Chain A
């Protein structure tokens, strides 16, 4: 696996080097703001940002405290992502089985593929408003393509002998999709969900920056207009933490499904 085992540091060295890297990073950040190289208005010190995060934990900014903003973002996100998975995965599986459906959907999908999810924001606002519907549609636009593609690929590369066996044993089309294609494609589907979850979270942030009246993105825009850099940085940290947790859950699911199938 390793390119060179000669230059490979020991576990302790890796740990020390990593710690050193973090110290340099936070040291530079603190030095830049602490010695006034950059005005605090532009780059507050790490301590000031931590303080601001604790303050926002139970004091409202832009209509709600940070945890409430995070919850309203998560609500929209869950809705948009589940919708994308609920439509994308079955559609992908059926496209993998019925070639006519594949031939109909694939050109439409390819034509829309290059429209960035964020470019749907104006229509999302026009069709579904700026409350829940608009942002949910943008999240859907971000999370849908990986859900569909991975289910499709999973179903397309199923070993032909499984399909022949199922046919011989008298399974109909629907049973082949639900009892052969679906179980066999699960590792691929879960990987697609993970990619979709990441893109959906990213689209949510974009949608909330542009059209929303609550949520972490909205809080950041308000922080930006109030020139409150600590608030903006608090929002970035909160978005990073939540995104990381979502990815962690799906990564564990991915590893679990792969382990169960002996894929390592």
Chain B
């Protein structure tokens, strides 16, 4: 109890110290030049500007909504394809042997390296971004579902088989619930990869979205707007991860609730 109280106290002090240093070094003195890092009033002004008047052709909400929409589509598409593929690969060794070499061939290519190809194929619109996010989220979804099925207690699987669970029933009643914790670990990695990839894809070229805000702010040398866009990306990443946590707790009511 004392330990956690001190933790909160020290955390607050740290936050205050950083805020004080930031204000003093940028606002009251010019220890850090405004061209390198903005002062608190500048960030506030940039936030007000993008929220009310808009920046890079749209308001903050429109940019955020655009980014959120692309992440949601790429992520969901990857999960709907990737998780079942991983489960089937885990359950059927022949299918696994058939797919694994091709999968291992594609896997070392980082998702961001697909961006130029996606632009060549689908242009600068939404399609290319969804494709790249799909690739980013697909690999962790497959690997973790596969590992989840493989790491199950053999006794459980054998017992269910003796009791007559086969084929589709076995997958639905035994393998999916058993692999669920690992599947969610994969989804968490997928979600993180989705956000990273989205930002990169939008920085390379986009007509709207938070990555475009970052890009335009960089070209305008507008550090305050860069801070606002980074904060917006972080906030959305945090909010979607929290949403996934809530879904995870609901999906596995038999596990103890995490702190």
Contact = CB atoms under 8 A, between A and B. Distances in A.
B113 A236 contact: yes
B182 interface: no
A235 B116 contact: yes
A123 interface: yes
A220 interface: yes
Q: Which of A8, A126, A241 counts the most chain B CB atoms within 10 A?
A: A126
Interface string B202-221: 01100000000011011001
B101 interface: yes
Chain B interface size band reads: 35 or more
Given A3-B152, A107-B11, A122-B218, A247 B108 contact: yes
Given A17-B97, A114-B241, A236 B117 contact: yes
Contacts of B229: 119
Contacts of B204: 209-210, 221
Chain B interface, >50% SS class? helix
Interface residues of A, number: 63
Contact of A243 (B18, B92, B110, B175): B110
B154 interface: yes
Contacts of A217: 113
A214 interface: no
A193 interface: no
A237 B214 CA distance: 29
Contacts of A13: 94, 97
Given A17-B94, A21-B101, A122-B218, A3 B116 contact: no
A51 interface: no
A25 interface: yes
A191 interface: no
A13 B238 CA distance: 46
B126 to A, nearest CB: 18
B196 A116 contact: yes
A237 B229 CA distance: 33
Interface string A183-222: 0000000000000000001100110011000000100110
A61 to B, nearest CB: 13
A258 B198 CA distance: 36
Interface of B: 3, 6-7, 10-11, 14-15, 18, 35-36, 90-94, 97-102, 105, 108-117, 119-121, 149-150, 152, 154, 157, 161, 175, 192, 195-196, 199-200, 203-204, 214-215, 217-218, 221, 223, 226, 229-230, 233-235, 237-238, 241
5 contacts: A3-B154, A21-B98, A106-B11, A210-B203, A236-B117
Given A229-B117, A236-B117, 10 more contacts: A3-B90, A3-B150, A14-B93, A103-B11, A107-B14, A119-B230, A209-B116, A220-B116, A235-B116, A247-B108
Nearest 4 A-B pairs (CB), nearest first? A122-B218, A224-B116, A103-B10, A17-B97
